[in-house]
Structures are given as C-alpha cells and as structure tokens.
Amino acid sequence: MGGLGLVMMTVMTWTVMHRWSQRNKKGPKTWPILGAAIEQLMNYERMHDWLVTYLSQSKTVVVPMPFATYTYIAEPANVEHVLKTNFNNYPKGEVYHSYMEVLLGDGIFNSDGETWRKQRKTASLEFASKNLRDFSTKVFRDYSLKLSSILSTSSFLNQQVDMQELLMRMTLDSICKVGFGVEIESLAPNLPDNLFAQAFDAANIIVTLRFIDPFWKIKKFLNIGSEAQLDRSIKIIDDFTYSVIRTRKAEIEQAKNSGLHNKIKHDILSRFIELAGEGSDDATEKSLRDVVLNFVIAGRDTTATTLSWAIYMTLTHDHVAEKLYLELKTFEEDQAKLRNASLLHCDTEDPESFIRRIHQFSELLTKDSLEKLPYLHAVITETLRLYPAVPQDPKGILKDDVLPDGTKVKGGGMVTYVPYSMGRMEYNWGPDASTFRPERWFKDGVLVHESPFKFTAFQAGPRICLGKDSAYLQMRMALATLCRFYRFRLVAGHTVKYRMMTILSMANGLKLTIHRRP
C-alpha cells in the first residue's frame, strides 16, 4: 500500500510541476504524456475556430501531442520560411504520409522528393496546354448548364436542394471528364447514387481523424470502428478508380492498334499512362490510382466547397448578391452588343424560355470574357480568404530550425500553417479581418493581389497550386451562371457549419430554395 501511495504521490507531484511550468505559456492546456490531446479532442468539431482563438493571441502556437508536437503558424514571414525559404526542411513528411497513404497513396499531395517532382512536372505541362484549357472551358460550361437545368426545374416545382451535393456532383463529373476522359453522369437529372463519392467523403473524414486519434493504429490492426469503415470505403474507391484506369488503357491501346493515334484523348490520366509505359503490373496501376485520387480531391472537393461557401456568402450578404447580379447583367448586355447578338426574352414564368436565355448567356462566357468580371473574381477570392478549401496544411520537420519570429522547432515534429486562421487575423488583414468584404480586393477600382504567403488558399513556394487558374475558371463559370439567373434562400432552421476533414466542406450540406431572376 505504501508503494502504491508513493507512486500516486510521484505522479501527482509530476503533474503539478508540469502544470506549474506551463502557467505563463500561451496556448492550450497540456498534461504529462497526453500533451494537449484532451483539449483538442474536446474541441475537435470546431478545431479551426479553436485555433483562431489561440493564434489571435499569439502568431505561433505550440501544441504538444502524445506522439508529436504541432507548431501552428499564421504570420506570413513564418509561412514564407516554411513554404519557400527553407522548403527542403519541411516536406510532407512520414507522419502525414502514413496518415493519408491509404487514400492518397504516393500522389502529388502526399509525396516528397523525386516522386513529387516527376508528378508535378507532368501536371504542370498538362495545365499549360492550350488544348486542355480549351477543353476545360467547354466542359465547365456544359456542366454549369446541367446544374442550371436542375436548379430551374427545382425552382418551378418549389423544391429544396442541397447545393453542396449538387456542386460536388458537378465538379466530380468535370474532373472525371477533364482529368480522366470519362463520363460518369452523377449530375444526371435523377441524381443517381454515387457510391464512389460517398466512400471518398467517408474516407476523407476518417483519415483526418487520425491526426488526433492516438488509437487509430490499434483500430486498424483489429479492423474495428472507423478503421473498419475506412477499409470498406477504400475498397469502393479502388474498384471505381482501377476501372477508370483500365478503361482508358484499353482505349489507348485500341487507338494505337488501329493506327488512330490522333484519336487518343489528351486528358491528364492519358498523359500519365503514356509516361508510365504500357505495362499493366500492379505497381504501375497503383501509381496511376494515386494520380487519379489526388486529382479528384484537387478538382472536385476544393472547387465544390469553395462554390458552396461563396453562395452562402452571397445569400447572407444581400448587398454583395445585388452588386454581383448587376455586374453580370451589365456584362451580358455588353458582350451581346460586342457580338451583335440580340438577347432572347427571359420569361421567368416559362421554363423553356428561361433555359434558352441561360444557354445564350453561357455562350458569352469564355476564358477571356470572364476576366471582365472583377467583382465576381473578388467574391470568390474573399470567400477563399475566410473559407479556404484546405483550412490547415501540416508539414514535417526534418531538422531543428528557428522560425523568423524566434520560435524553435524540433526535427521529427510538425509545422502547420493555417489558412482558415490567417484569413481571420487582424494582424494580417486589419480590424475588419473577420468581415466578408469583396471590396478589399480593389485599389482605386482595380483588382489587387496579395502575397501568396498571406493569402495562402493556393499554397505558395515550390508547391503552389498548379490548378489555380483552372479552379478560378470553373468557379467563375459556375458562379456567373448561378448568380445571374438565381436568387438563393437558406431553408429555415438549416444550420451551416464546417465538417472536420482535409477539405472545408459543410457538415449538413447547404439546403436552399431557388428563386429565378429576370
């Protein structure tokens, strides 16, 4: 009994001494062995706002956890140091890779070194291709029209819609067409169930939970709980992905055997297949599988969530919605005059007339003409400032280092820059940092750009997003059509909040009623 009492007294003394040593430190409460895990788990569903609280008090917050120490940063100089100045010391790292490997494998968002460089070089060449840009413009226009048709029907039938789900379907169809050369028609009028999309979302949520769940490896070993669900989701994901790869390989092989080389599609997957060679071994197919899933998370999730938040911002800020509507209406009239085209009558009570006018408007939208919609661009950019598609991005630390603000970081830990917090910091954006104000992106009536180390929605440095221009093209195409012809109203009682996953999606979707504009 005496021995047990001695052990208990030692533990209590250790705990008290630890807490005393932490009394003047900024950041969450920490405990021996557990670190800040208790507070982090208690705030998991609102973790991004939890971090806002601490980063508004200190530009760098150190959060010890049982198996790693996380250093969160929100000051642009620190971000530039990590993403550019000392880039080689801050890779994705083994910890991040181990958490995400089951979903993203060795794809571009989950790899370092030569594997990452090769994929980035291939992707950069494809995104610079005029053929891909022209093809993307047509695809984005076509799927925006499909979405508009569904919304039109819903408006005439007074039906509620989940806008986030519809946008996820639109962007999934788009990336599958542009990236992999296949039609999956998830945005068909009857909105068929899409097991791949459901499994992809489930897997995304579970791998994100791994970052604060100290027991995930045990659950994986025993194949129980969330890790068992993850296994089931990955099976569905892989079945779909390998089917896409084998279909494209067969089409390429058939075109070559027939001497129809000019018939080979120039989508991104085909380019990677060409570089990988014609072998069908597991390693080759596995690498192509990783390419596909990394482009899905880049081309589907990020764009759809940003559009969802942008629509939510317009319906909660009436003056923004009206200013955007007037810009789009003026643009429509000016473009029609430039092309000597007469605008069709827009009868909001006649479904056929209404859709014809939307189709006519969509023909005015090109990559070049969309550049003449600065307020539209500002609305999207301001949305990304407050609701970045990737709300936080962790990096590994290879060697001990000192950040520009004097914070010491140790090799083996993690540094995470936090776009969600950065957009809300007054020390970055001024006293109205938390206010949605697209006008902040203009100076003397001209659009201005901020440093990518301050506006980090597309990352910065050597890993800066290759698909930025493509993403803006699709978002402007879709939002221009939607905000020109529809007014949105939130369904009464519907709660909008984010869901904890690698992408800042809405936990309950975005339930709306649709109202037509003349």
Feature table: binding site for heme: 465
Strand 511-516 vs strand 160-162: parallel, antiparallel, or unpaired?
antiparallel
CA-wise closest residue to 43 among 54, 32, 33: 54
Q: Are the CB atoms for 475 and 310 separated by under 8 Å? A: yes
Q: Are the CB atoms for 294 and 145 separated by under 8 Å? A: no
Neighbours of 361 (CB within 10 A): 24
Q: What is the residue type of 466?
A: L
Contacts of residue 201, defined as CB under 8 A and 6 or more positions apart, other chains included, come to 501, 505
Q: Are the CB atoms for 251 and 270 separated by under 8 Å? A: no
Neighbours of 425 (CB within 10 A): 20
| Residues contributing to the annotated binding site | 465
Residue 406, φ and ψ in degrees, nearest 5: 95, -5
- Report the C-alpha gap between 207 and 494 in whole angstroms: 27
Cα separations (Å) of 430 from 73, 248, 426, 482?
A: 18, 50, 4, 31
CA-wise closest residue to 460 among 395, 367, 363: 395
- Report the C-alpha gap between 360 and 341 in whole angstroms: 10
Cα separations (Å) of 227 from 38, 99, 107?
A: 21, 12, 21
- DSSP letter, residue 462: G
Radius of gyration in angstroms for the set of CA atoms belonging to the chain, rounded to a whole number: 25
Coil, strand, or helix at residue 74? Answer: coil
Query: Which residue bears the tokens 């195409």?
Result: 477
Q: Are the CB atoms for 52 and 65 separated by under 8 Å? A: no
- Report the C-alpha gap between 1 and 365 in whole angstroms: 81
The end-to-end CA distance of the chain, in Å, is: 83
Q: Are the CB atoms for 111 and 92 separated by under 8 Å? A: yes
- Report the C-alpha gap between 160 and 168 in whole angstroms: 17
Residue 444 Ramachandran class (φ > 0 left, ψ -120 to 50 alpha, else beta):
left
Inter-helix orientation angle 225-257/93-104, to 10° = 70
3-state secondary structure 146-159: HHHHHHHHHHHCCC
Q: Which tokens sit at 196?
A: 């791949």
